[in-house]
Amino acid sequence: MEIVMAFVIGILFMSATYLMLSKSLLRIIIGTGLLSHGAHLLILTMGGLKRGTVPLLGEEASSYTDPIPQALILTAIVISFGVTAFFLVLAYRAYKELGTDNTERLRGNEGND
């Protein structure tokens, strides 16, 4: 299963990169969303999949799945949500102020940098 997942992750990263390289702000944000999914699955896969039961001591099983990747991912999910939300509002405001969501047109004016 890990090998299958490795390819799934690779495809997620690939799509994410392609989206981030486009001009539209919305597509870039969707790209970052896909990228974080890929990263989360990567962390989970690296810890090994389906070894033991869920990491709840109440299960009283002989072995548990590695809890550390899960703890890491939980943090990452929340952070990536924060980032996505921030990006979205940024795109919204940029559009409101500048009238475009095309990054090629969002360049600062030349004399001012």
Partner 1 sequence: MSLLHLAIISPFLLAIFIPILYKLFRNIHTGWFVLPLPILLFSYFLSFISITSTHKTITESVPWIPAIGVDFIAKVDGLGLLFALLITGIGSLVVLYSIYYLSKDKEKLNTFYVYLLLFMGAMLGVVLSDNLIVLYTFWEFTSFSSFLLIGYWYDREKSRYGAQKSMLITVLGGLSMLGGIILLYIMTGTFNISEIIAQAAGITENPLFIPALICILLGAFTKSAQFPFHIWLPDAMEAPTPVSAYLHSATMVKAGIYLVARMTPVFASEGLWVWLIAGFGIATLFWGSFNAVRQTDLKAILAFSTISQLGMIMSLLGLGAAALHFDDVKNSFYGAATLAAVFHLFNHATFKGSLFMVVGIVDHETGTRDIRKLGGLMNFMPITFTLAIIGTFSMAGLPPFNGFLSKEMFFTGMIRVLELDIFNFETWGMLFPVIAWIASVFTFIYSMVLVFKTFTGKYQPEKLEKKPHEAPMGMLISPIVLASLVIIIGFFPNILANSILSPALESILPNNNIDVHISFWHGFKPELFMTIGVIALGILLFLTLPKWKRVYDFFPKKLTLNRLYDNGLELIQRASNKLTKTYMNGSIRTYLVYIFAFFIFILATTIAVKNAFIFDTSNISSIGFYEVLLALAIVIGSISILFVNSRMTAIILLGAVGYTVSLFYVLFRAPDLALTQLVIETISVALFLLCFYHLPKKRNEERNRFKLTNAIISIGVGAIVTVIALSAHSNKVFDSISEYYVENTYTEAAGKNMVNVILVDFRGFDTLFEITVLTIAALGIFAMIKLRMGGKKKNENK
62 binds partner 1 (CB under 8 A): no
Q: Which residue has the tokens 């004016």?
A: 109
Q: Cβ of residue 76: shortest distance to partner 1, in angstroms?
A: 9
Binding mask 74-93 toward partner 1 (x if CB under 8 A, else -) reads xx-xxx-xxxxxx-xxxxxx
- What is the Cα–Cα distance from 11 to 38, expressed in whole angstroms? 8
Gap between the Cα atoms of 96 and 61, Å rounded: 55
**112 and 36 Cβ atoms separated by less than 8 Å:** no
Instruction: Please work out the total of residues on this chain that contact partner 1, with binding judged by CB under 8 A.
Output: 91
Site string for partner 1, 11-50 (x = CB under 8 A): xxxxxxxxxxxxxx-xxxxx--xx--xx-xxx-xxxxxxx
